[in-house]
Amino acid sequence: MADRATAFAPASIGNLAVGFDMLGLALDGVGDRVEARRTDGEAITIDAVYGLDGEPHPYLPTDADSNTASIAAQSFWQAHGDRGGAALTIRKGVPLQSGMGSSAASAVAAVVAVNGLLEEPLPPAKLLAHALEGEQYASGGLHADNVAPSLFGGMILCPESLLPDTVSLAVPEGISAVLLHPELQVNTAQARKRLLRSVSLPLWLEQQGYLATFIAACAANDHALIARSLKDVVIEPQRAEAVSCFEAVRDAAMRGGAAGCSLSGSGPSIFALVATARAGNLATSMEQACRAMGIECQSWVSSMSAPGARVEA
Ligand code: HSE
């Protein structure tokens, strides 16, 4: 039986433009790490939370009742823990309030780490509901579009009506995701509260059409159809204004040949899907457009089939 386990969980793109709260994509090369060590106590506690600079995090709480990671791990441990408790060390790799699924990555890494302490760890599908408990605490809503891709990897369809089941979708060949993170912050819980409560029938129909077409286009590897359907006519128009560089970055992405470009989750991050051969150049163009607005930024290029969370040690 392991005394310690460390898990990595990737960042993710929520909504993926077409599927508000029900579609998400895992990202390569950026994520959170959580180490769990067994303790004699009965509960989940937190030893330390480190920020991107490796220093103790200035904002994230070490109080286990108010940290996304420990809330998720506690939910899992209450249901499946064998004995004793566990203490977590959280290392943030995903910037806070970035629209990159930061809270989801912490929640998923924590649950995967404590699961890794068990003699017979449970399969990922059994972990989803527990990771969601942590995410719900952070974002104020039940949406799995960051937690599910962070846990399973790839592109996941996860409408609330289906939870805790989800669908792993086929991804097109030769298309990558570019994610640009401008140094701004958007609080997801507040951004969700500001959304209109209803949508007109014509808009609902249009968005449904995009979602269905996009999923079909990905499965058929039809790049032209992906470009025609990767659109958000409901949520993006309500949120774009809060991200001052959005229009400039999106214009640069579309000029650079992106199939589509929108906010990642509630923003401020902005993603584009693009032919893999053009992805590096596209990331550079998007960064240049962002800096021209006076906003510092960072970008990542990711496969659309990035792996999900895993135990590392
Ligand atoms: N689907 C969520 C939202 C994702 O857009 O509010 C938050 O990252």
Neighbours of 202 (CB within 10 A): 9
For residue 32, give the amino acid letter: D
What's the CA-to-centroid distance between 20 and ligand 1, angstroms? 7
Q: In b/e form, how buried is each residue of 228-261, taking b as 16+ CB within 10 angstroms? A: ebbbbbbbbeebbebbebbebbbebbbebbbbbb
- Ligand 1: which atom is nearest the Cα of residue 99? 8
Output the pLDDT for position 140: 80
Tokens of 139: 């974002």
Output the pLDDT for position 138: 86
Q: What is the mean pLDDT of the chain?
A: 96
Output the pLDDT for position 141: 80
pTM for the predicted model, two decimal places: 0.97
Output the pLDDT for position 139: 82
CA–CA gap between residue 200 and residue 76 (Å, rounded): 40
Residues 202-250: pLDDT tens digits?
A: 999 999 999 999 999 999 999 999 999 999 999 999 999 999 999 999 9
What's the CA-to-centroid distance between 303 and ligand 1, angstroms? 21
Ligand 1: which residues within 6 Å by Cβ?
Answer: 14-15, 20-21, 99, 101, 143, 145-146, 188, 192, 265-266
CA–CA gap between residue 48 and residue 37 (Å, rounded): 12
Pairing of strands 23-39, 85-91: antiparallel
Percent pLDDT > 90 in the chain is 94
Output the pLDDT for position 142: 86
> If you average pLDDT over residues 56-68, what whole number do you get?
93
CA–CA gap between residue 274 and residue 265 (Å, rounded): 18
Output the pLDDT for position 313: 65
pLDDT confidence tier of residue 188, bands split at 50, 70 and 90: confident
> If you average pLDDT over residues 78-95, what whole number do you get?
96
What's the CA-to-centroid distance between 23 and ligand 1, angstroms? 10
Residue 113 scores a pLDDT above 90: yes
Question: What is the residue with the minimal CA distance to atom 6 of ligand 1?
Answer: 266
Question: What is the residue with the minimal CA distance to atom 4 of ligand 1?
Answer: 265
Measured in degrees and rounded to the nearest 5, phi and psi for residue 221 equal 60, 35
What's the CA-to-centroid distance between 1 and ligand 1, angstroms? 37
Residue 289 scores a pLDDT above 80: yes
pLDDT confidence tier of residue 120, bands split at 50, 70 and 90: very high
CA–CA gap between residue 75 and residue 81 (Å, rounded): 10
